Amino acid sequence: MQRLIKIFMCGLLVTVMLCGFNITASAKDFKLNICAMPEHETFFPWYAHKVGWDKEAGLDFNVIYFESGMQQLEALPAKQWDVGLHGGVPHVFGALRYGAYLLGIGNNESFCNSVFARPDSPVVATKGAVAGHPNVYGKADQVKKKVFLVTTVSSAHYVMSSYLNVFGLKDSDVVVKQMDQASIMAAFESGVGDFACLWAPYSYNAVDNGWIEVANVDTCGRALPITFIGGKEFCDKNPEIVAKFLGVMMRGIKKLADEGATDENVKLFQKMYLDWAGMEYTFAQAKKDIEMHPVIEYSDQLKIMDASKGESDVQRWERLIAGFLHTNGRLTDAEFAKIKDGKWITDKYLKMVKTPIK
């Protein structure tokens, strides 16, 4: 009997030791709080966590929902997130107020940040009236003093101002009504406003509603990136963690670059939107979401982030965005001077990523 008890106790001890070992091993995964919005780029951390890529890098992704980039920035001082996926427009304010780093590029969303009008708008009957912009609808007198529904200081705001710039107009020449994206959809459908400024996936829903895209960032002759953002204090203290995060992001980018909008990937996008954001996407919408967001692979990111011979491509993109904010009174002369050199855009962490990207 005593021998059986000893055997039982030894087995129990081994079990406890093994359980303790497993808990310790799991504790080695660094919990990384990631800010994100219900957009294309959230697929990278969502999928990585789903299949365990984060664990392979010694990380544990906690992807936190935000409705807009400015909401993300409001949460940064309280350290609610460490790194994340952010819009190129609000990132300017993140750099100005908090020194937030731009660590890399999630995608090019120039094609799905759009200005919409209703089918019966007189603007819809006027296409290519301005030289150099054959796919932009409208004339200055059809746009001036009209009501624009927009999420201010966002990519949607950038497309609105880019659209106005085509006609030589500024924000002050129209009536700007600040709303979040979901509210814009409901308001515009009920007859409020003359123009709706939307980002994906809301822009896809706008098309399904029969609204007419009168301009996007690309047709206005500009570019708009989604950025990987990092809190300055966190990044300075945890460079290896940041590099691992970027490595996992580049792995997701490579997956989409290699595979594109396969049936499997489209279904994964549908699942991401439904499970994480509570948004129902049709197969066609999810497919379009992949196709409308070109991604930039690791080797090319190093090139566009390289400032060793002068201003990098990404620094130029962000300088132009900062210029738009300055022109429209969102940045003072002093604020614009402080951030226009793009020193907050760094390839330091990108260069630390372990290669090859799997």
- The token pair that represents 93 in the structure block: 């304010």
* One-character DSSP codes across 276-334: II-----HHHHHHHHHTS----HHHHHHHH--TTSS-HHHHHHHHHHHHHHHTTSS-HH
In terms of Cβ atoms closer than 10 Å to its own Cβ (0-12, 13-18, 19+), residue 310 is: exposed
Which sequence spans correspond to the domains of the chain?
Answer: 29-108+225-352, 114-216
**On the CB side of 11, how many CA atoms lie within 13 Å of its CA?**
6
Q: Coil, helix or strand for 113?
A: coil
For 210, list phi and psi in degrees, rounded to 5.
90, 5
CATH entry 3.40.190.10 includes domain 29-108+225-352: yes
For the chain, helix, strand, coil in percent to 5 are: 50, 15, 35
Distance CA(200)–CA(197), nearest Å, equals 10
Q: For the segment 145-190, what is each residue's pLDDT rounded down to a tens digit?
A: 999 999 998 999 999 999 999 999 999 999 999 999 999 999 999 9
Q: For the segment 283-341, what is each residue's pLDDT rounded down to a tens digit?
A: 999 999 999 999 999 999 999 999 999 999 999 999 999 998 998 888 999 999 999 99
Report whether 248 contacts 45 (CB < 8 A).
Answer: yes
Per-residue pLDDT of the chain (358 residues; tens, 9 = 90+): 444 334 444 444 444 344 443 333 356 899 999 999 999 999 999 999 999 999 999 999 999 999 999 999 999 999 999 999 999 999 999 999 999 999 999 999 999 999 999 999 999 999 999 999 999 999 999 999 999 999 998 999 999 999 999 999 999 999 999 999 999 999 999 999 999 999 998 999 999 999 999 999 999 999 899 999 999 999 999 999 999 999 999 999 999 999 999 999 999 999 999 999 999 999 999 999 999 999 999 999 999 999 999 999 999 999 999 998 998 888 999 999 999 999 999 999 999 999 999 8
CATH entry 3.30.379.10 includes domain 114-216: no
- The token pair that represents 129 in the structure block: 């009236």
Report whether 117 contacts 124 (CB < 8 A).
Answer: yes
Report whether 122 contacts 227 (CB < 8 A).
Answer: no
Q: Do domains 29-108+225-352 and 114-216 have the same CATH topology?
A: yes
Residue 321: name the closest of 331, 312, 306 by CA. Answer: 331
